[in-house]
Amino acid sequence: MIQQKTLNFAKLKGSMIVVTVFALWFSVFFDDYVETVLSYVLIMSFGVLHGANDIRLIQSVTSNNSKSAFIRVVLAYVLVVAGILTLFFVLPVLALGLFVLISGYHFGEQHWSKSLLVHSSWNVLFYTFYGLFILFMIFYLKSEQVIPILEGILKISVVTEVLGYTLLFSGFSLLVFGIFYYNKGLVKSNLWEELFVLLVFFVIFKTASLLWGFCIYFIVWHSIPSLKDQMDYLYGESSWRTFGKYIKDSILYWAVSIIGLLMLLWFLKDSSENMVAILIYFLAAITFPHVFVMSKLEKRP
């Protein structure tokens, strides 16, 4: 019964390819300004929404629904968010380095956790190299726009070679892991399909503007599949009905996150930080607790 109602993953993947092609077509017809505005709208809506149920999910994975447990979770959440933001201003290199590393792990885990047939600590490295390969593909292909953003956050100079060598390193490590996992028959998904998806990402990042390319990946290939996983976990199925329920359950947290982002923009309005840097602080602040929660959820049997 549940199986029938739950969105079929292969069907979802097909729709993701169609939406991606449409988004690419869109980028040919509209200029960077339209792409940028739409990127912010999508990241603030779907992107933030897929992390807006974290407090609820933390409660659910720790199976404690009491009021005091809820207050403890909220306090811990606020402390972690404040701690991450502080780290960006005190030790920006460490903060950004950790954020990129953890994001890589998180993107890889979201993509692979259901297709790997083995539970091993090596999976952590495989996930991380996969996500880093995608992120550094963006950074390298759009280095002209990315370097000033990184330099603004890190307060040190960054050269394209660092981005290129890290891309090569993560690509090579991914290749080694991929050959090993596929040779041993430890992966369910089709190798050619996976390579095709990476090729699609390359075309997106090369063709679209920085923010639009990131947005297509982040929304279509990460946030939507993650929303599906969360709905399956919270309500036992993913359908339009449970999507409505998810929105109803998370709208308050979502609104608080958006108010937090607006406050961050207001606090930093007189500093030299650009909008993308502020978006990165915000994403980092909500990503650390999110990765912790989702990792627990993806590991469930």
Ligand X SMILES: CC1=C(/C=C/C(C)=C/C=C/C(C)=C/C=O)C(C)(C)CCC1
Site of interaction with ligand X (CB under 6 A): 51, 100, 103, 106, 135, 138, 146, 149, 210, 214, 276, 280, 283, 287, 290
Query: What is the C-alpha separation between 282 and 15, in angstroms, rounded?
Result: 29
Name the residue nearer to ligand X (CB basis): 61 or 186. 61
16 or 100: CB nearest ligand X: 100
What's phi and psi for 208, nearest 5 deg? -80, 170
For ligand X, the closer of residues 106 and 123 by Cβ is 106
Quick one: angle between helices 92-112 and 275-298, nearest 10?
Answer: 50
CA dihedral for 44, 49, 51, 54, sign (positive or negative): positive
In the complex, minimum distance from the CB of residue 145 to ligand X, in angstroms, rounded to a whole number: 7
| Least distance CB 39 / ligand X (angstroms) | 9
User: Quick one: 176 or 215, whose CB is closer to ligand X?
Assistant: 215
CA 22 – CA 3 distance, rounded (Å): 29
Counting every residue written for the chain, the total comes to 301
Q: Compute the distance between CA of residue 246 and CA of residue 249 in angstroms, rounded to an integer.
A: 5
CB of 146 to ligand X, least distance (A): 5
- Asked whether the beta carbons of 200 and 220 are under 8 A apart, the reply is no
Closest separation in Å from C-beta 106 to ligand X: 5
Q: Which residue is nearest to ligand X (CB)?
A: 103
Supply the minimum distance, in Å, between the C-beta of residue 23 and ligand X: 16
Smaller CB distance to ligand X: residue 177 or 282? 282
The residues pairing with 187 across neighbouring beta strands, listed in sequence order, are 116
Q: Given the complex with ligand X, which of 23 and 135 has the nearer CB atom?
A: 135
| Nearest to 140, CA basis, from 225, 79, 229, 201 | 201
CA distance 151 to 240: 43
Nearer to ligand X, 174 or 286 (CB): 286
DSSP for residue 6: S
Classified as helix, coil or strand, 1 is: coil
| Cα–Cα distance for residue pair 262/171, rounded to 1 Å | 37
Instruction: Compute the least distance from the CB of residue 268 to ligand X, in Å.
Output: 16
CB-neighbour burial class of residue 70 (10 A; exposed 0-12, middle 13-18, buried 19+): middle
Closest contact distance (angstroms) between CB of 264 and ligand X is 15
